[in-house]
A and B are shown apart, each in its own frame.
Chain A
Amino acid sequence: QKEVEQNSGPLSVPEGAIASLNCTYSDRVSQSFFWYRQYSGKSPELIMSIYSNGDKEDGRFTAQLNKASQYVSLLIRDSQPSDSATYLCAVKNFGNEKLTFGTGTRLTIIP
């Protein structure tokens, strides 16, 4: 079992709709959770971090964390073509600075 799992996609969403990206992790001591966006040929860009159960909102983005079920999700409201990218989920465990990345979900917003 991979430590961090994501559906590779591609996930296609109509412009203006909500895009929902999911990530599950295997280690119960995972402490911090991050979502990165990576455009083709570019470097990963941090868009959200979340540390405690519940929702965290930042503009059109909402991160949701459920530690009991070991999943974290990212919602993108009012999806725009510029949101088309690969989204990487990353997990940090307690006492360790390393991030473990999922393989990413490729999101395409259809105009």
Chain B
Amino acid sequence: DAGVIQSPRHEVTEMGQEVTLRCKPISGHDYLFWYRQTMMRGLELLIYFNNNVPIDDSGMPEDRFSAKMPNASFSTLKIQPSEPRDSAVYFCASSSSWTSGRPKPYEQYFGPGTRLTVT
């Protein structure tokens, strides 16, 4: 199976611009997670979906952040407008549930990440 795919791998943008990060989870996984990692705050969960439905968005820092999952194979994280403090590495991860019948439930597999720099 292909792993989690993210694009772009690097994004440099100016403050105030809209940024869209993309993720394709592992086929058959029914959970998708968006994380942000910085040196100061470590790895933080922003939001996660189950069967394309947002379950917990309590980690989304502000209304400038939004996430969607229109189908089982695609999700986006959008920042509008972007600010310099949004600079971080954003990871997408996916996992399967116990009821999915897939092996190794609960284990989250991470994509390569998107390094975002807002100037």
Contacts and interface: CB of A to CB of B under 8 A. Distances in A.
Interface of A: 32, 34, 36, 42-46, 49, 88, 90, 92, 97-99, 101-104
Nearest to A34: B107
B111 to A, nearest CB: 6
B109 A98 contact: no
Nearest to A99: B108
A90 to B, nearest CB: 8
Contacts of A103: 42
Q: How many B residues are at the interface, by size bracket?
A: 20 to 34
- What is the interface of chain A mostly: helix, strand, loop, or mixed? strand
Given A43-B91, A97-B48, A97-B55, A104 B108 contact: no
A14 B112 CA distance: 30
Interface of B: 31, 33, 42-43, 45, 48, 50, 55-56, 91, 95, 97, 104, 106-113
A92 B104 CA distance: 14
Contacts of A46: 107-110
Nearest to B109: A46
Given A43-B113, A44-B43, A88-B43, A98 B107 contact: no
Name which of B43, B95, B110 has the most chain A CB atoms within 10 A of its CB: B43
